[in-house]
Structure 1
Amino acid sequence: MDDDDFDTPWKEVVMCHFPEFMAFYFPLAHAAIDWSRPHVFLDQEFAALSRDAELGKRLLDKLVSVYLRDGGVQWLLVHVEVQGWRDARFAERMFVYNYRVYDRHHRAVASLALLTDDNRHWRPSSFGYRLLGCWMAIEFPVVKLVDFADHADELLRHDNPFALVTLAHLQARQTRGNAHRRRAAKLRLTRLLYQRDWDRQRIINLYRVIDWIMRLPQALEVRLSYVALQLERRRAMPYISSMERYCMERGHQQGLEKGLQEGRQKGLQEGRQKGWQEGRQEGRQEGQQEGQCVLLTELLQQRFGELDAVARARLAAADVSQLLVWAKNFVSAATLDEVFRNR
Structure 2
Amino acid sequence: MSEIIANYDESWKEALNEYFESFLSFFFPEIYQLIDWTQPPQPLDKELQQITASSQTESRIADKLYQVWLLNQEQIWILIHVEIQSHYDVSFEKRMFIYHYRAFDLYGNKVLSLAILGDDRPNWRPDCYNYSIGKGEITLKFPTVKLIDYQSRWDELESMSNPFAMITMAHLKTKATTSQFSERSEYKWQLIRGLYERGLTKEQVVKLFKIIDTMMTLPKELQAELVAKIKRFEEERKMPLVSPTEQLAMERGELRGELRGKLEGKLEGKQELIIRLLNRRCGEIQLSLTERIRQLSIEQLEELGEALLDFSSMTDLERWLQK
TM-score by length of 1: 0.68
C-alpha deviation, 1:218, in angstroms: 1.1
CA distance in 2, matches of 1:230, 1:31: 43
What's the counterpart of residue 64 of structure 1? 66
The residue type paired with residue 171 of structure 1 is K
What's the counterpart of residue 139 of structure 2? 137
Paired residue secondary structure (2:40): coil
The residue type paired with residue 152 of structure 1 is W
CA distance in 2, matches of 1:54, 1:98: 13
What's the counterpart of residue 90 of structure 2? 88
What's the counterpart of residue 226 of structure 1? 228
Aligned residues between the structures = 245
* 1:113-128 equivalence runs, <5 A: 113-128=115-130
What's the counterpart of residue 241 of structure 2? 237
What's the counterpart of residue 75 of structure 1? 75
CA distance in 1, matches of 2:211, 2:119: 18
Aligned equivalent of 1:5, options 4, 7, 20: 7
C-alpha contact (below 8 Å) 2:148/2:172 kept by paired residues: yes
C-alpha deviation, 1:239, in angstroms: 3.2
What's the counterpart of residue 192 of structure 2? 190
* 1:166-177 equivalence runs, <5 A: 166-177=168-179
Q: Unaligned regions of 5+ residues in structure 1, if any?
A: 248-327, 329-343
Paired residue secondary structure (1:76): strand
CA distance in 2, matches of 1:160, 1:78: 20
Q: Which deviates more, 227-236 or 13-22?
A: 227-236
CA distance in 2, matches of 1:237, 1:84: 34
The residue type paired with residue 228 of structure 1 is I
The residue type paired with residue 205 of structure 1 is K
CA distance in 2, matches of 1:49, 1:217: 37
What's the counterpart of residue 22 of structure 1? 24
Paired residue secondary structure (2:125): coil
* 1:154-303 equivalence runs, <5 A: 154-233=156-235, 234=237, 235-241=239-245, 242-243=248-249
Is 1:54 equivalent to 2:60 in the alignment?
A: no
What's the counterpart of residue 255 of structure 1? none
C-alpha contact (below 8 Å) 2:205/2:244 kept by paired residues: no
Paired residue secondary structure (2:158): helix
CA distance in 2, matches of 1:5, 1:174: 14
C-alpha deviation, 1:37, in angstroms: 0.8
In structure 2, relative to structure 1, the CA distance for the partners of 1:103 and 1:54 (3 Å cut) is closer
Q: Indicate the RMSD between aligned Cα atoms, in angstroms.
A: 2.0
Once the two structures are superposed, residues 16-67 of structure 1 have per-residue CA deviations (whole angstroms, 9 ceiling, x without a partner) of: 1110011111111111111111101101011112213232341111110011
The residue type paired with residue 119 of structure 2 is D
In structure 2, relative to structure 1, the CA distance for the partners of 1:95 and 1:245 (3 Å cut) is same
The residue type paired with residue 70 of structure 2 is L
CA distance in 1, matches of 2:54, 2:156: 42
Paired residue secondary structure (1:32): coil
C-alpha deviation, 1:89, in angstroms: 0.9
C-alpha deviation, 1:246, in angstroms: 9.1
CA distance in 2, matches of 1:109, 1:207: 32
C-alpha contact (below 8 Å) 2:7/2:216 kept by paired residues: no
CA distance in 1, matches of 2:251, 2:185: 18
Is 1:109 equivalent to 2:111 in the alignment?
A: yes
Structure with the larger RCO, 1 or 2 (CA within 8 Å, 6+ apart): 2
The residue type paired with residue 21 of structure 1 is F
CA distance in 2, matches of 1:53, 1:100: 7
C-alpha deviation, 1:158, in angstroms: 1.0
C-alpha deviation, 1:244, in angstroms: 5.8
Runs of 4+ aligned residues of structure 1 deviating over 3 Å after TM superposition are 230-233, 244-247
CA distance in 2, matches of 1:3, 1:240: 22
What's the counterpart of residue 271 of structure 1? none
What's the counterpart of residue 148 of structure 1? 150
Q: Which deviates more, 98-107 or 6-15?
A: 98-107
CA distance in 2, matches of 1:42, 1:81: 14
Sequence identity (%): 32
Paired residue secondary structure (1:225): helix
